[in-house]
Amino acid sequence: MRYRSFFWPAILIVFGVIALGVNLGAISSGRLYRLADLWPLILVVIGLVSISRRAWQGATRDLAAALIVLLAVGGAAAYVAARGPVPTGSETLNTSDTVGSLDQATLHVSAGAATLRVDSSDALGADLYRAHIEYSGPKPTVSLDRGTGILEISHSDDFALFAGRRFALTLEVSPAVTWNISVDAGSANDTLNLSALKVGSIKLSTGASHDVITLGTPAGIVPISIVGGDVNLLVHRPAGTEASVHVSAGAVNLSADGTQYHGVGDEAWQSSGYDQAGNGYRVEVSGGASTVTMDTSAAQ
């Protein structure tokens, strides 16, 4: 006898009811976003239904599948009711913390899509940083581990199930400490004004990015790593500062101090005194397509 499952018809009914509730205003968009937290439940339900199909036969099997789906729907409804809706409008968050005994700090930003601006400021006084965040969806988390000096700023994107989430971070940081900067994002638009900072390292990992980095005088050879599917990078450094650039990508457009390189695969450049220099910047770029410019002009 041909097996007919209640599982997929039940799933269609559930999604139909949810869509109808949203259209009628019975389910707010904020609560719909909250359902995105439960996407792993779909995998659990599919697994349990698969087990029931092997453990039972006939009507018992169909009833078990239906009960599994109903329990999952009931649990999801209880979760949304308990947690409440996710805010869908644009909100702001302002936060800061003090330098204390830190002499080195690491900024790590993690977001699905981010607009990031970092500036050094002598006006912070005893503060290590002051952050202003404009966001939609879940509230970003900001934490400072004084044991490691790691300033963690993250924003969940619910695995990109819902587009249009906003995360714009404006960050003022103290020049009193050495900074390491790390960004992990699906896409990013970064402006890093670091000319007055002591920079230990920079690492940007994105799916696609447009990055403008203004650097100051280096202490030692400072590594800068950019990894992404589509990279557009502009680096300004002080005149007389030694530097090297290595780009590994499917398509490369490299401009370094006015010299142009175009190709597929690897392209590299370094200033004349880089090999003998004790201080400088080492830039490594890897991406599917990369446009990289290194110059000694100030940012506009």
pLDDT in tens, 230-266: 999 999 999 999 999 999 988 999 999 999 999 888 9
Residue 204 backbone dihedrals phi, psi, to 5 degrees: -120, 120
d(CA 211, CA 112): 16
pLDDT of residue 181: 98
pLDDT of residue 254: 95
d(CA 267, CA 269): 7
Tens digits of residue pLDDT in 76-98: 777 766 766 655 567 899 999 99
Which residue ranges of the chain lie beneath pLDDT 50?
Answer: 1-3, 159-163, 299-300
d(CA 44, CA 50): 10
State whether residue 144 is helix, strand or coil. strand
Q: pTM for the full model?
A: 0.72
pLDDT of residue 161: 45
Do the Cβ atoms of 111 and 187 come closer than 8 Å? no
